[in-house]
Structure 1
Amino acid sequence: MHSHGTDQAAAAEAGGLAVSRDGYTLVPLSAEFTAGHSGELRFRIRDGQGATITRFAIVHDKPLHLIVVRRDLSGYQHLHPTMATDGTWSVPLTLPRPGVWRAYADFTALADDGRQTATTLGVDLVAPGDYRPRALPAPATTTTVDGFTVGYQGDPQPTLTVPLSFRITGPDGARPVLERYLGAYGHLVALREGDLGYLHVHPEAELVDGAVQFWLTTPGPGRYRLYLDFATGGEVRTAEFTVSVS
Protein backbone atom coordinates (compact mmCIF):
# COMPACT_ATOMS: atom_id res chain seq x y z
CA MET A 1 0.00 0.00 0.00
CA HIS A 2 1.05 3.58 -0.57
CA SER A 3 0.59 6.78 1.41
CA HIS A 4 0.91 10.25 -0.09
CA GLY A 5 3.77 12.36 1.15
CA THR A 6 3.52 16.01 2.15
CA ASP A 7 6.33 17.52 0.05
CA GLN A 8 4.72 20.77 -1.09
CA ALA A 9 7.42 21.50 -3.68
CA ALA A 10 6.83 18.11 -5.35
CA ALA A 11 3.07 18.59 -5.22
CA ALA A 12 3.37 21.97 -6.97
CA GLU A 13 5.24 20.50 -9.94
CA ALA A 14 2.98 19.52 -12.83
CA GLY A 15 3.43 16.01 -14.18
CA GLY A 16 2.44 14.24 -17.37
CA LEU A 17 4.43 16.61 -19.59
CA ALA A 18 6.81 13.93 -20.93
CA VAL A 19 6.96 10.22 -21.74
CA SER A 20 10.07 9.89 -19.54
CA ARG A 21 10.49 11.08 -15.97
CA ASP A 22 11.96 9.92 -12.65
CA GLY A 23 13.80 7.09 -14.39
CA TYR A 24 10.70 5.61 -16.05
CA THR A 25 9.39 5.73 -19.63
CA LEU A 26 5.90 5.21 -21.00
CA VAL A 27 6.10 3.11 -24.17
CA PRO A 28 2.81 3.08 -26.15
CA LEU A 29 2.14 0.05 -28.32
CA SER A 30 -0.81 1.76 -30.00
CA ALA A 31 -1.33 5.50 -30.42
CA GLU A 32 -3.67 6.11 -33.37
CA PHE A 33 -7.44 5.62 -33.16
CA THR A 34 -10.51 6.10 -35.34
CA ALA A 35 -12.75 8.78 -33.84
CA GLY A 36 -15.99 7.35 -32.49
CA HIS A 37 -14.89 3.71 -32.84
CA SER A 38 -13.91 1.34 -30.06
CA GLY A 39 -10.20 0.61 -29.89
CA GLU A 40 -7.62 -0.60 -27.40
CA LEU A 41 -4.73 1.25 -25.80
CA ARG A 42 -1.70 -0.91 -24.98
CA PHE A 43 1.51 0.27 -23.34
CA ARG A 44 4.39 -0.65 -21.05
CA ILE A 45 6.36 1.16 -18.36
CA ARG A 46 10.14 0.69 -18.62
CA ASP A 47 12.98 1.66 -16.29
CA GLY A 48 16.28 3.34 -17.15
CA GLN A 49 17.80 0.06 -18.29
CA GLY A 50 14.92 -0.66 -20.66
CA ALA A 51 13.38 -3.39 -18.51
CA THR A 52 9.59 -3.56 -18.33
CA ILE A 53 8.24 -2.74 -14.86
CA THR A 54 5.76 -5.19 -13.35
CA ARG A 55 5.64 -4.13 -9.68
CA PHE A 56 3.40 -1.23 -8.67
CA ALA A 57 2.01 0.01 -5.36
CA ILE A 58 -1.75 0.12 -4.87
CA VAL A 59 -2.77 3.80 -4.77
CA HIS A 60 -6.45 4.74 -4.45
CA ASP A 61 -7.37 1.06 -4.81
CA LYS A 62 -5.55 0.61 -8.16
CA PRO A 63 -1.97 -0.04 -9.33
CA LEU A 64 -2.31 2.46 -12.20
CA HIS A 65 -4.75 5.20 -13.11
CA LEU A 66 -5.13 6.24 -16.74
CA ILE A 67 -6.57 9.67 -17.52
CA VAL A 68 -7.47 10.53 -21.12
CA VAL A 69 -8.58 13.97 -22.30
CA ARG A 70 -8.58 15.86 -25.59
CA ARG A 71 -6.14 18.77 -25.84
CA ASP A 72 -8.99 21.27 -25.49
CA LEU A 73 -9.66 19.61 -22.08
CA SER A 74 -12.92 18.00 -23.22
CA GLY A 75 -13.84 14.31 -23.27
CA TYR A 76 -12.34 13.42 -19.88
CA GLN A 77 -12.09 9.69 -19.11
CA HIS A 78 -10.72 7.97 -15.99
CA LEU A 79 -9.80 4.37 -16.77
CA HIS A 80 -8.10 1.45 -15.05
CA PRO A 81 -6.11 -0.79 -17.41
CA THR A 82 -5.19 -4.36 -16.61
CA MET A 83 -1.61 -5.63 -16.71
CA ALA A 84 -0.51 -8.91 -18.28
CA THR A 85 2.26 -10.96 -16.68
CA ASP A 86 4.81 -9.51 -19.14
CA GLY A 87 4.01 -5.95 -17.97
CA THR A 88 1.83 -4.96 -20.91
CA TRP A 89 -1.10 -2.77 -19.88
CA SER A 90 -4.30 -2.74 -21.94
CA VAL A 91 -7.67 -1.03 -21.77
CA PRO A 92 -10.59 -0.55 -24.19
CA LEU A 93 -10.63 3.06 -25.35
CA THR A 94 -12.92 5.12 -27.55
CA LEU A 95 -11.91 8.64 -28.59
CA PRO A 96 -15.31 10.10 -29.46
CA ARG A 97 -14.11 13.06 -31.56
CA PRO A 98 -11.17 13.77 -33.87
CA GLY A 99 -8.12 15.52 -32.49
CA VAL A 100 -5.00 15.01 -30.44
CA TRP A 101 -5.69 13.46 -27.04
CA ARG A 102 -3.44 13.23 -23.99
CA ALA A 103 -3.13 10.00 -22.00
CA TYR A 104 -1.65 10.14 -18.48
CA ALA A 105 -0.33 7.08 -16.66
CA ASP A 106 -0.39 7.87 -12.93
CA PHE A 107 1.41 5.18 -10.92
CA THR A 108 3.85 4.38 -8.12
CA ALA A 109 6.63 1.98 -9.11
CA LEU A 110 8.09 -0.45 -6.58
CA ALA A 111 11.83 -1.11 -6.71
CA ASP A 112 13.40 -4.38 -5.57
CA ASP A 113 14.68 -2.66 -2.43
CA GLY A 114 11.17 -1.44 -1.55
CA ARG A 115 11.58 2.17 -2.71
CA GLN A 116 8.43 3.76 -4.08
CA THR A 117 8.55 6.27 -6.94
CA ALA A 118 5.30 8.11 -7.66
CA THR A 119 5.17 9.74 -11.07
CA THR A 120 2.88 10.63 -13.96
CA LEU A 121 3.91 10.07 -17.57
CA GLY A 122 2.04 11.42 -20.60
CA VAL A 123 1.75 10.57 -24.27
CA ASP A 124 -0.32 11.94 -27.17
CA LEU A 125 -2.92 9.81 -28.94
CA VAL A 126 -4.27 10.73 -32.37
CA ALA A 127 -7.78 10.42 -33.79
CA PRO A 128 -7.48 11.78 -37.36
CA GLY A 129 -10.22 14.00 -38.72
CA ASP A 130 -11.64 17.51 -38.62
CA TYR A 131 -10.47 18.87 -35.27
CA ARG A 132 -12.59 21.71 -33.97
CA PRO A 133 -11.43 22.65 -30.47
CA ARG A 134 -14.06 23.64 -27.93
CA ALA A 135 -13.65 26.82 -25.93
CA LEU A 136 -12.96 26.25 -22.26
CA PRO A 137 -16.06 27.05 -20.18
CA ALA A 138 -15.90 30.18 -18.03
CA PRO A 139 -14.81 29.79 -14.40
CA ALA A 140 -17.65 28.87 -12.03
CA THR A 141 -17.90 27.38 -8.56
CA THR A 142 -21.03 25.32 -9.27
CA THR A 143 -22.07 22.93 -12.00
CA THR A 144 -24.67 20.23 -12.62
CA VAL A 145 -24.33 16.64 -13.78
CA ASP A 146 -27.24 14.20 -14.21
CA GLY A 147 -29.44 16.43 -12.05
CA PHE A 148 -26.89 16.68 -9.23
CA THR A 149 -25.64 20.13 -8.26
CA VAL A 150 -21.99 20.24 -7.28
CA GLY A 151 -20.31 23.29 -5.79
CA TYR A 152 -16.95 23.93 -4.23
CA GLN A 153 -15.41 26.35 -1.76
CA GLY A 154 -11.76 27.33 -1.81
CA ASP A 155 -9.44 29.81 -3.46
CA PRO A 156 -6.46 28.23 -5.24
CA GLN A 157 -3.29 30.34 -5.07
CA PRO A 158 -0.03 29.88 -7.01
CA THR A 159 2.44 27.54 -5.22
CA LEU A 160 0.24 27.33 -2.10
CA THR A 161 -1.54 24.20 -0.88
CA VAL A 162 -5.17 25.07 -0.19
CA PRO A 163 -8.29 23.03 0.66
CA LEU A 164 -11.12 22.64 -1.82
CA SER A 165 -14.41 21.41 -0.34
CA PHE A 166 -17.07 19.99 -2.65
CA ARG A 167 -20.73 19.66 -1.67
CA ILE A 168 -23.23 17.66 -3.69
CA THR A 169 -26.99 18.12 -3.78
CA GLY A 170 -29.33 15.60 -5.37
CA PRO A 171 -32.18 16.30 -7.81
CA ASP A 172 -34.60 16.34 -4.86
CA GLY A 173 -32.62 19.09 -3.12
CA ALA A 174 -31.29 16.74 -0.43
CA ARG A 175 -27.73 15.60 0.08
CA PRO A 176 -27.27 12.16 -1.49
CA VAL A 177 -25.55 9.28 0.25
CA LEU A 178 -22.02 9.36 -1.12
CA GLU A 179 -20.22 6.08 -1.66
CA ARG A 180 -16.50 5.49 -1.55
CA TYR A 181 -14.79 5.59 -4.91
CA LEU A 182 -11.14 4.59 -5.18
CA GLY A 183 -10.81 4.52 -1.42
CA ALA A 184 -12.35 7.92 -0.69
CA TYR A 185 -15.58 9.84 -1.21
CA GLY A 186 -14.27 11.40 -4.39
CA HIS A 187 -11.35 11.56 -6.80
CA LEU A 188 -10.11 14.86 -8.24
CA VAL A 189 -7.92 15.46 -11.30
CA ALA A 190 -6.60 18.92 -12.19
CA LEU A 191 -5.12 19.81 -15.60
CA ARG A 192 -3.50 23.08 -16.66
CA GLU A 193 -4.66 24.80 -19.82
CA GLY A 194 -1.94 25.21 -22.43
CA ASP A 195 0.60 22.48 -21.68
CA LEU A 196 -1.92 20.13 -20.01
CA GLY A 197 0.23 19.74 -16.91
CA TYR A 198 -1.23 17.14 -14.53
CA LEU A 199 -1.58 18.00 -10.85
CA HIS A 200 -1.74 15.53 -7.98
CA VAL A 201 -4.68 16.36 -5.72
CA HIS A 202 -4.73 14.66 -2.33
CA PRO A 203 -8.11 13.73 -0.78
CA GLU A 204 -9.21 13.42 2.81
CA ALA A 205 -10.27 9.83 3.48
CA GLU A 206 -13.39 10.97 5.36
CA LEU A 207 -16.00 13.65 4.76
CA VAL A 208 -15.26 17.01 6.37
CA ASP A 209 -18.46 18.57 7.72
CA GLY A 210 -20.38 16.68 5.03
CA ALA A 211 -18.10 17.84 2.21
CA VAL A 212 -15.56 16.00 0.07
CA GLN A 213 -12.27 17.80 0.72
CA PHE A 214 -9.06 17.83 -1.29
CA TRP A 215 -5.73 19.64 -1.03
CA LEU A 216 -4.67 21.37 -4.26
CA THR A 217 -1.33 22.97 -5.08
CA THR A 218 -1.21 24.95 -8.32
CA PRO A 219 2.32 25.61 -9.65
CA GLY A 220 1.52 29.03 -11.11
CA PRO A 221 -1.14 31.36 -12.47
CA GLY A 222 -3.38 30.31 -15.33
CA ARG A 223 -6.59 28.43 -16.01
CA TYR A 224 -7.11 24.90 -14.77
CA ARG A 225 -9.80 22.33 -15.40
CA LEU A 226 -10.97 20.25 -12.43
CA TYR A 227 -12.66 16.86 -12.81
CA LEU A 228 -14.41 15.52 -9.70
CA ASP A 229 -15.45 11.86 -9.77
CA PHE A 230 -18.03 10.91 -7.13
CA ALA A 231 -20.25 7.87 -6.62
CA THR A 232 -23.91 7.65 -5.67
CA GLY A 233 -26.34 4.76 -6.14
CA GLY A 234 -23.56 2.58 -7.53
CA GLU A 235 -22.81 5.00 -10.39
CA VAL A 236 -19.76 7.22 -10.83
CA ARG A 237 -20.36 10.72 -12.17
CA THR A 238 -17.93 13.49 -13.10
CA ALA A 239 -18.42 17.18 -12.34
CA GLU A 240 -16.16 19.58 -14.24
CA PHE A 241 -15.02 23.09 -13.31
CA THR A 242 -12.81 25.79 -14.80
CA VAL A 243 -10.68 27.57 -12.21
CA SER A 244 -8.71 30.77 -12.82
CA VAL A 245 -5.62 31.13 -10.63
CA SER A 246 -3.90 34.51 -10.37
Structure 2
Amino acid sequence: MSQRFRTVRPALAAAAATAALTLTLAACGSGTSTHTAGHGGMPSSSAPGHGMASMPGMGSPSASASADGMASMPGMGTASAGDGLAAARGDYRMASTDSGLPAGKATAYRFTIMGEGGKPVTDFAVDQTKRMHFYAVRSDLTGFQHLHPTMAGNGTWTAPLAALQPGTWRLYASFTPGSGSGKGQDFVLSRTVKVSGMDMASPLPAASGTTTVDGYTVTVQGDPMAGMAHQLTATVSKDGKPVTDLQPYLDTYAHLTAFHQGDLAFAHLHPETEVKGDHGGPTLTFHAQFARSGNWRLFLQFQTGGTLHTAALTLRVG
Protein backbone atom coordinates (compact mmCIF):
# COMPACT_ATOMS: atom_id res chain seq x y z
CA MET A 1 0.00 0.00 0.00
CA SER A 2 2.68 2.46 -0.85
CA GLN A 3 1.69 5.98 0.07
CA ARG A 4 -1.93 4.84 -0.08
CA PHE A 5 -3.05 7.24 2.58
CA ARG A 6 -0.75 10.10 1.69
CA THR A 7 -2.09 13.62 1.25
CA VAL A 8 -3.06 14.51 -2.32
CA ARG A 9 -2.64 17.98 -3.79
CA PRO A 10 -5.64 20.33 -3.58
CA ALA A 11 -5.66 20.49 -7.38
CA LEU A 12 -6.92 16.92 -7.43
CA ALA A 13 -9.61 17.76 -4.91
CA ALA A 14 -10.81 20.68 -7.02
CA ALA A 15 -11.34 18.39 -9.96
CA ALA A 16 -14.05 16.33 -8.24
CA ALA A 17 -17.62 17.55 -7.87
CA THR A 18 -19.53 17.21 -4.59
CA ALA A 19 -23.22 17.04 -3.74
CA ALA A 20 -25.06 15.88 -0.63
CA LEU A 21 -25.11 12.15 -0.14
CA THR A 22 -26.47 9.78 2.45
CA LEU A 23 -24.53 7.54 4.80
CA THR A 24 -24.70 5.86 8.23
CA LEU A 25 -21.89 5.33 10.77
CA ALA A 26 -20.86 3.05 13.69
CA ALA A 27 -17.63 1.81 15.32
CA CYS A 28 -14.18 0.22 14.66
CA GLY A 29 -10.41 0.67 15.04
CA SER A 30 -6.90 -0.59 14.46
CA GLY A 31 -4.00 -2.00 16.44
CA THR A 32 -4.21 -4.50 19.28
CA SER A 33 -7.05 -3.09 21.42
CA THR A 34 -10.58 -3.55 20.14
CA HIS A 35 -14.10 -2.20 20.16
CA THR A 36 -17.19 -3.45 18.41
CA ALA A 37 -19.69 -1.90 16.06
CA GLY A 38 -22.87 -3.10 14.47
CA HIS A 39 -25.46 -1.99 12.01
CA GLY A 40 -27.69 0.84 13.02
CA GLY A 41 -25.26 3.71 13.60
CA MET A 42 -24.93 3.23 17.37
CA PRO A 43 -21.98 4.97 19.06
CA SER A 44 -18.91 2.81 19.32
CA SER A 45 -16.90 1.96 22.36
CA SER A 46 -13.77 4.09 22.34
CA ALA A 47 -10.42 2.41 21.93
CA PRO A 48 -7.24 4.01 23.25
CA GLY A 49 -4.53 5.08 20.86
CA HIS A 50 -4.34 2.72 17.94
CA GLY A 51 -7.26 0.62 19.07
CA MET A 52 -9.05 -1.85 16.82
CA ALA A 53 -12.75 -2.20 16.25
CA SER A 54 -14.56 -5.43 15.59
CA MET A 55 -17.94 -5.99 13.94
CA PRO A 56 -19.81 -9.07 12.81
CA GLY A 57 -20.62 -9.65 9.23
CA MET A 58 -19.57 -10.42 5.68
CA GLY A 59 -19.81 -13.51 3.60
CA SER A 60 -17.78 -13.40 0.52
CA PRO A 61 -16.72 -15.12 -2.59
CA SER A 62 -14.11 -17.80 -2.13
CA ALA A 63 -10.49 -16.72 -2.14
CA SER A 64 -9.62 -17.32 -5.74
CA ALA A 65 -6.13 -17.41 -7.16
CA SER A 66 -6.98 -15.18 -10.10
CA ALA A 67 -5.04 -11.98 -10.75
CA ASP A 68 -7.82 -10.02 -9.10
CA GLY A 69 -5.93 -8.40 -6.22
CA MET A 70 -6.10 -4.68 -5.58
CA ALA A 71 -3.32 -2.15 -6.05
CA SER A 72 -3.37 1.62 -5.96
CA MET A 73 -0.99 4.04 -7.63
CA PRO A 74 1.64 5.33 -5.19
CA GLY A 75 0.77 8.71 -3.77
CA MET A 76 -2.39 9.06 -5.85
CA GLY A 77 -6.05 8.89 -4.91
CA THR A 78 -6.83 6.56 -7.76
CA ALA A 79 -8.49 3.19 -7.55
CA SER A 80 -6.49 0.08 -8.28
CA ALA A 81 -6.99 -2.32 -11.13
CA GLY A 82 -8.44 -4.92 -8.77
CA ASP A 83 -10.95 -5.28 -5.99
CA GLY A 84 -9.06 -7.23 -3.32
CA LEU A 85 -11.11 -10.42 -3.78
CA ALA A 86 -8.27 -12.68 -4.98
CA ALA A 87 -5.81 -14.67 -2.90
CA ALA A 88 -3.12 -14.24 -5.57
CA ARG A 89 -1.97 -11.59 -7.99
CA GLY A 90 1.10 -11.75 -10.19
CA ASP A 91 3.94 -13.43 -8.29
CA TYR A 92 2.26 -12.88 -4.91
CA ARG A 93 -0.10 -15.11 -2.98
CA MET A 94 -1.69 -14.90 0.47
CA ALA A 95 -1.28 -18.33 2.07
CA SER A 96 -2.70 -19.67 5.34
CA THR A 97 -3.53 -23.00 6.91
CA ASP A 98 -6.32 -21.40 8.97
CA SER A 99 -9.65 -22.14 7.28
CA GLY A 100 -11.72 -21.81 10.45
CA LEU A 101 -11.62 -19.73 13.63
CA PRO A 102 -13.45 -19.94 16.98
CA ALA A 103 -16.27 -17.54 17.84
CA GLY A 104 -16.61 -15.31 20.87
CA LYS A 105 -12.99 -15.00 21.94
CA ALA A 106 -9.80 -13.31 20.83
CA THR A 107 -7.82 -15.42 18.42
CA ALA A 108 -4.76 -15.22 16.18
CA TYR A 109 -4.84 -15.58 12.39
CA ARG A 110 -1.54 -16.53 10.78
CA PHE A 111 -0.67 -16.08 7.14
CA THR A 112 2.27 -15.68 4.78
CA ILE A 113 2.74 -13.65 1.61
CA MET A 114 4.42 -15.96 -0.90
CA GLY A 115 6.45 -14.37 -3.69
CA GLU A 116 8.68 -15.33 -6.59
CA GLY A 117 9.61 -18.99 -6.65
CA GLY A 118 7.03 -19.77 -3.98
CA LYS A 119 9.25 -18.29 -1.26
CA PRO A 120 7.92 -16.26 1.69
CA VAL A 121 8.26 -12.52 1.31
CA THR A 122 10.01 -10.80 4.22
CA ASP A 123 10.84 -7.41 2.70
CA PHE A 124 7.91 -4.97 2.89
CA ALA A 125 7.91 -1.21 2.43
CA VAL A 126 6.54 0.98 5.22
CA ASP A 127 3.30 2.66 4.20
CA GLN A 128 1.19 4.83 6.46
CA THR A 129 3.70 3.98 9.24
CA LYS A 130 3.04 0.22 8.86
CA ARG A 131 4.42 -2.63 6.76
CA MET A 132 1.09 -4.47 6.71
CA HIS A 133 -2.52 -3.34 7.03
CA PHE A 134 -4.98 -6.14 7.79
CA TYR A 135 -8.78 -6.08 7.66
CA ALA A 136 -11.40 -8.57 8.79
CA VAL A 137 -14.96 -8.10 7.51
CA ARG A 138 -18.02 -10.28 8.08
CA SER A 139 -20.29 -11.27 5.18
CA ASP A 140 -23.22 -9.04 6.19
CA LEU A 141 -20.90 -6.06 6.83
CA THR A 142 -21.78 -5.94 10.53
CA GLY A 143 -18.26 -6.87 11.55
CA PHE A 144 -15.02 -4.99 10.86
CA GLN A 145 -11.53 -5.02 12.28
CA HIS A 146 -8.48 -3.06 11.09
CA LEU A 147 -5.17 -3.96 12.66
CA HIS A 148 -1.46 -4.23 12.04
CA PRO A 149 -0.04 -7.74 12.44
CA THR A 150 3.52 -8.63 13.36
CA MET A 151 5.89 -10.67 11.19
CA ALA A 152 8.24 -13.41 12.33
CA GLY A 153 11.66 -13.86 10.76
CA ASN A 154 10.36 -16.60 8.45
CA GLY A 155 7.74 -14.30 6.91
CA THR A 156 4.74 -15.53 8.93
CA TRP A 157 2.38 -12.73 9.95
CA THR A 158 0.19 -12.97 13.06
CA ALA A 159 -2.97 -10.87 13.24
CA PRO A 160 -4.45 -10.63 16.77
CA LEU A 161 -8.18 -10.65 16.05
CA ALA A 162 -10.76 -9.56 18.59
CA ALA A 163 -13.70 -11.88 19.26
CA LEU A 164 -15.53 -12.76 16.03
CA GLN A 165 -19.23 -13.45 15.56
CA PRO A 166 -20.19 -16.74 13.85
CA GLY A 167 -20.35 -16.67 10.06
CA THR A 168 -18.11 -16.15 7.05
CA TRP A 169 -15.39 -13.55 7.25
CA ARG A 170 -13.07 -12.22 4.55
CA LEU A 171 -9.54 -11.31 5.66
CA TYR A 172 -7.53 -8.78 3.63
CA ALA A 173 -3.76 -8.19 3.58
CA SER A 174 -2.72 -4.80 2.18
CA PHE A 175 1.01 -4.35 1.53
CA THR A 176 3.79 -3.07 -0.74
CA PRO A 177 6.80 -5.32 -1.45
CA GLY A 178 10.12 -3.67 -0.69
CA SER A 179 11.95 -5.67 -3.35
CA GLY A 180 11.32 -8.30 -6.02
CA SER A 181 9.05 -8.19 -9.05
CA GLY A 182 6.35 -6.24 -7.19
CA LYS A 183 8.62 -3.64 -5.60
CA GLY A 184 6.76 -0.38 -5.07
CA GLN A 185 3.40 -1.81 -6.15
CA ASP A 186 0.37 -1.88 -3.86
CA PHE A 187 -1.39 -5.19 -3.28
CA VAL A 188 -4.59 -6.17 -1.50
CA LEU A 189 -5.08 -9.95 -1.31
CA SER A 190 -7.72 -11.80 0.68
CA ARG A 191 -8.98 -15.16 1.89
CA THR A 192 -12.14 -16.31 3.66
CA VAL A 193 -12.55 -18.17 6.94
CA LYS A 194 -15.52 -19.73 8.68
CA VAL A 195 -16.17 -18.76 12.29
CA SER A 196 -17.92 -21.52 14.20
CA GLY A 197 -21.52 -21.22 15.39
CA MET A 198 -24.89 -20.18 13.99
CA ASP A 199 -24.60 -17.48 11.34
CA MET A 200 -27.29 -14.85 12.01
CA ALA A 201 -27.12 -12.22 9.27
CA SER A 202 -28.34 -8.66 9.83
CA PRO A 203 -29.79 -6.37 7.15
CA LEU A 204 -27.58 -3.56 5.91
CA PRO A 205 -28.69 -0.14 7.23
CA ALA A 206 -30.09 2.26 4.64
CA ALA A 207 -27.92 5.14 3.49
CA SER A 208 -28.13 8.26 5.66
CA GLY A 209 -26.21 11.53 5.43
CA THR A 210 -25.39 12.04 9.13
CA THR A 211 -24.63 9.81 12.09
CA THR A 212 -22.95 9.92 15.48
CA VAL A 213 -20.15 7.88 17.03
CA ASP A 214 -18.76 8.36 20.54
CA GLY A 215 -20.59 11.68 20.77
CA TYR A 216 -19.22 12.96 17.47
CA THR A 217 -21.51 13.81 14.56
CA VAL A 218 -20.21 12.97 11.10
CA THR A 219 -21.82 14.36 7.97
CA VAL A 220 -20.77 13.10 4.55
CA GLN A 221 -21.31 14.73 1.18
CA GLY A 222 -20.58 13.47 -2.31
CA ASP A 223 -22.17 11.89 -5.36
CA PRO A 224 -19.98 8.95 -6.45
CA MET A 225 -20.53 7.00 -9.65
CA ALA A 226 -19.00 3.59 -10.28
CA GLY A 227 -15.73 3.62 -12.20
CA MET A 228 -15.28 7.38 -11.92
CA ALA A 229 -13.15 9.54 -9.62
CA HIS A 230 -15.15 11.66 -7.20
CA GLN A 231 -14.60 13.66 -4.04
CA LEU A 232 -16.25 12.83 -0.72
CA THR A 233 -16.30 15.36 2.10
CA ALA A 234 -16.70 14.43 5.77
CA THR A 235 -17.42 17.04 8.43
CA VAL A 236 -16.94 16.25 12.13
CA SER A 237 -18.70 18.14 14.94
CA LYS A 238 -19.47 17.62 18.62
CA ASP A 239 -22.23 19.24 20.69
CA GLY A 240 -23.07 21.36 17.66
CA LYS A 241 -19.55 22.79 17.38
CA PRO A 242 -16.95 22.09 14.65
CA VAL A 243 -14.20 19.68 15.74
CA THR A 244 -10.72 21.11 15.07
CA ASP A 245 -8.53 18.90 17.27
CA LEU A 246 -8.29 15.75 15.16
CA GLN A 247 -4.92 14.09 15.68
CA PRO A 248 -2.86 12.38 12.98
CA TYR A 249 -3.65 8.68 12.69
CA LEU A 250 -1.47 6.65 10.32
CA ASP A 251 -0.11 9.90 8.86
CA THR A 252 -3.55 11.33 8.09
CA TYR A 253 -6.52 12.86 9.94
CA ALA A 254 -8.87 10.06 8.93
CA HIS A 255 -8.58 6.57 7.50
CA LEU A 256 -11.39 5.46 5.22
CA THR A 257 -12.01 2.03 3.70
CA ALA A 258 -15.09 0.56 2.03
CA PHE A 259 -16.52 -2.85 1.20
CA HIS A 260 -19.18 -3.65 -1.40
CA GLN A 261 -22.41 -5.32 -0.27
CA GLY A 262 -22.61 -8.89 -1.54
CA ASP A 263 -19.14 -9.66 -2.88
CA LEU A 264 -17.10 -7.63 -0.36
CA ALA A 265 -14.97 -5.90 -2.99
CA PHE A 266 -12.44 -3.61 -1.32
CA ALA A 267 -11.88 0.10 -1.91
CA HIS A 268 -9.61 2.54 -0.18
CA LEU A 269 -10.57 6.21 -0.17
CA HIS A 270 -7.54 8.47 -0.17
CA PRO A 271 -7.33 11.56 2.07
CA GLU A 272 -6.59 14.90 0.46
CA THR A 273 -6.45 17.07 3.60
CA GLU A 274 -2.95 18.22 4.56
CA VAL A 275 -1.79 17.12 8.01
CA LYS A 276 -0.63 19.94 10.29
CA GLY A 277 -0.21 18.71 13.87
CA ASP A 278 -3.13 18.06 16.21
CA HIS A 279 -5.40 20.56 14.51
CA GLY A 280 -7.37 18.53 11.98
CA GLY A 281 -10.99 19.16 11.08
CA PRO A 282 -13.73 19.94 10.92
CA THR A 283 -13.81 19.17 7.17
CA LEU A 284 -11.90 16.30 5.55
CA THR A 285 -11.85 15.50 1.84
CA PHE A 286 -11.25 12.13 0.18
CA HIS A 287 -10.57 11.09 -3.37
CA ALA A 288 -12.86 8.14 -4.04
CA GLN A 289 -13.28 5.66 -6.83
CA PHE A 290 -15.56 2.62 -6.57
CA ALA A 291 -15.30 -0.33 -8.93
CA ARG A 292 -19.04 -0.98 -9.09
CA SER A 293 -22.40 0.47 -8.29
CA GLY A 294 -24.58 -0.53 -5.35
CA ASN A 295 -24.26 -0.25 -1.58
CA TRP A 296 -20.86 0.12 0.03
CA ARG A 297 -20.18 0.00 3.76
CA LEU A 298 -17.63 2.66 4.72
CA PHE A 299 -15.50 2.67 7.86
CA LEU A 300 -14.14 6.07 8.86
CA GLN A 301 -11.47 6.12 11.59
CA PHE A 302 -10.29 9.30 13.29
CA GLN A 303 -8.46 10.12 16.51
CA THR A 304 -8.99 12.71 19.25
CA GLY A 305 -7.28 12.94 22.63
CA GLY A 306 -5.36 9.72 21.95
CA THR A 307 -8.58 7.76 21.37
CA LEU A 308 -9.49 6.17 18.06
CA HIS A 309 -13.11 6.40 16.89
CA THR A 310 -14.63 4.37 14.07
CA ALA A 311 -17.85 5.25 12.29
CA ALA A 312 -19.54 2.78 9.93
CA LEU A 313 -21.73 4.06 7.12
CA THR A 314 -23.73 2.85 4.15
CA LEU A 315 -23.02 4.65 0.90
CA ARG A 316 -25.02 4.26 -2.30
CA VAL A 317 -22.87 4.41 -5.44
CA GLY A 318 -24.61 5.03 -8.76
**Same fold, TM-score > 0.5, yes or no:** yes
Q: Give every structure 1 segment of 4 or more consecutive aligned residues whose post-TM-superposition deviation is greater than 3 Å.
A: 1-4, 6-10, 171-174, 207-210
TM-score when normalising by structure 1: 0.92
Residues 195, 171 of structure 1: alpha-carbon distance in 2 compared, 3 angstrom cutoff: same
Is the counterpart of residue 224 in structure 1 residue 293 in structure 2?
A: no
Q: Which amino acid aligns with 1:90?
A: T
Q: Which amino acid aligns with 1:200?
A: H
Q: Which amino acid aligns with 2:306?
A: G
- Residue number among 212, 224, 230 corresponding to 2:284 in the alignment: 212
5+ long unaligned stretches in structure 1:
none
Measured against aligned partners, the alpha-carbon deviations of 1:182-202 in whole angstroms (never above 9, x if no partner) come to: 000010001111110001221
TM-score when normalising by structure 2: 0.72
- Residue number among 121, 137, 148 corresponding to 1:53 in the alignment: 121
Aligned to 2:61: none
Structure with more strand by fraction: 1
Residues 59, 205 of structure 1: alpha-carbon distance in 2 compared, 3 angstrom cutoff: farther
Q: Which amino acid aligns with 1:230?
A: F
Aligned to 1:234: 306
Q: Which amino acid aligns with 1:236?
A: L
Check conservation: 1:66, 1:106, Cα contact below 8 A.
yes
Q: Secondary structure of the equivalent of 1:110?
A: coil
Please tell me the root mean square deviation across aligned C-alpha atoms, in Å. 2.4
Measured against aligned partners, the alpha-carbon deviations of 1:40-99 in whole angstroms (never above 9, x if no partner) come to: 111100014110001111111111100111010111111100111111101221343100
Aligned to 1:125: 193
Aligned to 1:188: 256
Shift of residue 228, structure 1, vs aligned partner: 0.4
Q: Give, in whole Å, the separation in 2 of the partners of 1:114 and 1:221.
A: 30
Is the counterpart of residue 143 in structure 1 residue 211 in structure 2?
A: yes
Is the counterpart of residue 73 in structure 1 residue 145 in structure 2?
A: no
Residues 242, 182 of structure 1: alpha-carbon distance in 2 compared, 3 angstrom cutoff: same
Q: Secondary structure of the equivalent of 2:231?
A: strand
- Residue number among 91, 102, 106 corresponding to 2:170 in the alignment: 102
Identity, in percent, stands at 37
| Number of positions where the alignment pairs a residue of Structure 1 with one of Structure 2 | 246
Q: Which amino acid aligns with 2:207?
A: P
Is the counterpart of residue 31 in structure 1 residue 99 in structure 2?
A: yes
Q: Give, in whole Å, the separation in 2 of the partners of 1:99 and 1:32.
A: 10
Aligned to 2:220: 152
Q: Which has the higher contact order (CA 8 A, sep 6+)?
A: 2
Measured against aligned partners, the alpha-carbon deviations of 1:5-30 in whole angstroms (never above 9, x if no partner) come to: 37999715442211111321001132
Q: Which amino acid aligns with 1:37?
A: K
Aligned to 2:44: none
Residues 6, 60 of structure 1: alpha-carbon distance in 2 compared, 3 angstrom cutoff: closer
